[in-house]
Structure 1
Amino acid sequence: MSSSTVTTWSLEQTSPADLRPAAEPEGDVRIVRAEVPSPEFSRFLYTAVGGDIQWTDRLALTHTQWREAVEQPGTETWVAYEKGTPAGFVELVAQDDGAVEVMYFGLIPAFRGRRIGGHLLSYGAARAWDLADRWPDRPETKRVWLHTCSKDGPHAMDNYLRRGFRLFDTKTADEPDVTAESLWPEARA
């Protein structure tokens, strides 16, 4: 099997004051929390956003494992909709040490390049900072962090930096080349 060298960057904000929100996009764009955990909806979002950029880490999860992941206390999914159609999502996962990880973030390919991503990331980071308000048993957020890699879209890193995230770690590794399963493989870019 062939492999590729992949660089992974870890970024963080250590204060709510670090967040530099993007302007809201024009048009009918709303961001709504998916308050009822649904493994089916989560898997739809995951494959729709990550199918063309080789998101594969969750594809082997069973329905039970996926349900456990989305039902974990302090886990939230926020979905961007344009004119009522899902455009992308951000999944937040609260950790015991007061950190909140932006576990997944991205847009469905048809919605990229429309200024929705900066707004969704801004909104998601703000919700990470106030997550304890919705989950009183979770510690107050002290840090919001995420990782991105060289397989992600060409504007991902710039979006993170513009929102006030700072680089704190870089790793490079060889990873096997895979073709991510998608709802419609022929729709890959």
Structure 2
Amino acid sequence: MSNVTVTTWSLEQTAPTDLLPAIAPDGDVRIVRSEVPSPEFSRFLYTAVGGDIRWTDRLDWTYARWQEVLDRPGVETWVAYDRGTPAGYVELDPQDDGAVEIMYFGLIPAFRGRRIGGHLLSQGIARAWDLAERWPGRAETKRVWLHTCSKDGEHAMDNYLRRGFQLFDTKVEEEREVDTPGPWPGARVG
């Protein structure tokens, strides 16, 4: 396999007032917190959203590893549903210093381009800012941040900037190119 050059951008918000919310899309789109940690559901979301953009870092995780991550206090998964069907998700990962990382965010390919992404991201950011209200003992959020890279969807960076994120770091690295895993082994999107 050959190598591919990947640019990774780190972005942040440092106050709740940094959030520039998107307009909610038309139709029956709902954002719901997945309150019961479920490795099966989280792995489904991860592979369905990231399969065509080469999300591979969690593919070899065991059930126990998924459960361990999902059971950490403050980790939250917020799911967008379009007419009852999962359309995408945002995973929040709080850190001890008052920061909340948007660990994963994206839409299942069939739901891209419907204005759901900006709305889901807006709701995810708002939930990162008020996360301590749902988790007694957790420090108030002082910073919301994320990484995105040149392998992500073509509108990802624009969506983050439109929601009020500011760039604070850029890295360029060579990575081994991997086959697009699809939402399940052997599947190809498109």
Q: Give me the whole-angstrom Cα distance separating, in 1, the residues matched to 2:52 and 2:79.
A: 19
Q: Give me the whole-angstrom Cα distance separating, in 2, the residues matched to 1:4 and 1:18.
A: 34
1:176 aligns with 2:181: no
Structure 2 counterpart of 1:91? 91
| Residues 74-93 of structure 1 deviation map (CA, whole Å, 9 limit, x = unaligned) | 10000000000000000001
Structure 1 counterpart of 2:167? 167
Structure 2 counterpart of 1:148? 148
- Amino acid in structure 2 at the alignment position of 1:31: I
Structure 1 counterpart of 2:115? 115
| Residues 129-166 of structure 1 deviation map (CA, whole Å, 9 limit, x = unaligned) | 00000011211000000010000011000000000000
1:60 aligns to what SS in structure 2? coil
1:122 aligns to what SS in structure 2? helix
1:33-182 mapped onto 2 (5 Å cutoff): 33-181=33-181, 182=183
Structure 2 counterpart of 1:31? 31
Q: Give me the whole-angstrom Cα distance separating, in 2, the residues matched to 1:27 and 1:172.
A: 40
Q: Give me the whole-angstrom Cα distance separating, in 2, the residues matched to 1:179 and 1:34.
A: 30
Q: Give me the whole-angstrom Cα distance separating, in 1, the residues matched to 2:67 and 2:187.
A: 28
Q: Tell me the TM-score normalized by structure 1.
A: 0.98
Q: Give me the whole-angstrom Cα distance separating, in 1, the residues matched to 2:44 and 2:187.
A: 16
Structure 2 counterpart of 1:188? 189
Q: Give me the whole-angstrom Cα distance separating, in 2, the residues matched to 1:188 and 1:46.
A: 15
RMSD: 0.9
- Amino acid in structure 2 at the alignment position of 1:113: G
Q: Give me the whole-angstrom Cα distance separating, in 2, the residues matched to 1:56 and 1:180.
A: 9
Q: Give me the whole-angstrom Cα distance separating, in 2, the residues matched to 1:102 and 1:89.
A: 11
Q: How many residues were matched structurally?
A: 189
Q: Give me the whole-angstrom Cα distance separating, in 2, the residues matched to 1:45 and 1:179.
A: 19
2:37 aligns to what SS in structure 1? coil
Shift in Å, 1:184: 6.2
Q: List runs of 5+ in structure 2 lacking aligned partners.
A: none
Q: Give me the whole-angstrom Cα distance separating, in 1, the residues matched to 2:187 and 2:93.
A: 32
1:15-30 mapped onto 2 (5 Å cutoff): 15-30=15-30
- Amino acid in structure 2 at the alignment position of 1:40: E
The runs of at least 4 aligned residues of structure 1 exceeding 4 Å deviation read none
1:51 aligns to what SS in structure 2? helix
